[in-house]
Amino acid sequence: MSDKTLVIKVGGAILQQRQAISQLFEVIAQLQQQSVRIALVHGGGVMIDKMLKQAGLVSEKHSGLRITPKSHMPIISGVLAGDVNKQLVASASRAGVMAVGVALHDGQTTTCQPRDAHLGQVGVTQPNDPWLLNALLSAGCLPIVCSIGALNDGSLVNVNADDAAVVIAMLLQAELVFLTDIDGVYGADNACLRSLDHQHAQQLIAEGVICEGMVAKVNAALEAATRLRRSIAVTSWKTPQHLLQMYSGGEFGTRIIPNI
């Protein structure tokens, strides 16, 4: 079994860019040929917003996290576990990648607890059992994991996709890359930072340089780096070829440094 395991988290605009998705899966196919085991974790906020609007529902966010009333969950789970997940599986297949779509609670891979009550049906997920993921990886499959989980009572919950990627990386003891709409995390001088530690990140958040959805992304990356005891990469989905440098020492994007 390969000791090279990579978790890639995607979301945002890439999910609406068919060519970009195809390019990403072509790179994934190349990495798999190099015996890299890969799992893909995705969100789908843009599509959720669109479907909620069509249903006449208003979606709000708090500190980058979506407030999720119970009435919104059928739409959110349908978008993430249904349309987005299965479209990604189909796109992977077109690129010659054998993929299987799963949710966070499939195979008891993770457990979830309710997050803050004012956020509604939003869960905090924890690693539980990597058996299903490892079985898929050992069979040469690409697990495509949507950010829908389940509470102990069986209720479905919306999980922040960045947090979900952290947990999957913990389960697999994997390298983790966040593919975003930008080249990395930008500093006060509007230049992409090559590295970012906890102290500098909190300073930039306090100054409002890191704001909105990037706050949750950076905090998730800091948590991942610390819990995994390794750096986490944040880079653009527009240049997926950079992923081929993961195991050759190449530099790209921003490296989030663990707080150890």
CA distance 39 to 168: 8
How many beta carbons lie within 10 A of that of residue 196, not counting itself? Answer: 24
Residues 68, 79: contact at Cβ < 8 Å?
no
The three-class DSSP label of residue 103 is: strand
Which residue among 106, 163, 217, 253 is the active-site one?
A: 217
In the annotation, is 45 catalytic? yes
Q: Which residue do the tokens 């974790």 mark?
A: 41
Tokens of 76: 């959110």
Catalytic residue among 11, 43, 44, 45: 45
The yes-or-no answer on residue 96 being catalytic is: no
**Chain-centre distance for alpha carbon 163:** 7
* pLDDT tens per residue across all 260 residues of the chain: 457 999 999 987 888 899 999 999 999 999 999 999 999 999 998 899 999 999 999 888 887 778 899 999 999 999 999 999 999 999 999 999 999 999 999 999 999 999 988 899 999 999 999 999 999 999 999 999 999 999 999 999 999 898 899 899 999 999 999 998 888 899 988 888 999 999 999 999 999 999 887 887 788 788 878 888 888 898 889 888 889 888 777 778 899 998 86
Q: Which CATH class is domain 5-183?
A: alpha beta
* Domain segments of the chain as ranges: 5-183
Cα within 13 Å of Cα(125), Cβ side: 34
Return d(Cα 124, Cα 143) in angstroms, integer: 21
Strand partners, 148: 158
Kindly name the residue from 106, 162, 163, 183 that is annotated as catalytic: 162
- What confidence score (pLDDT) does residue 2 get? 56
Annotated active-site residue 9? The verdict is yes
Q: What distance, in Å, lies between the first and last C-alpha atoms of the chain?
A: 29
Question: What 8-state DSSP symbol labels residue 16?
Answer: G
Whether 4 is catalytic is: no
Nearest to residue 12, comparing CAs of 39, 59, 37, 49?
49
**Pairwise CA distance, residues 232 & 240, whole Å:** 16
- Residue 229: burial class (beta carbons within 10 Å; 0-12, 13-18, 19+): exposed
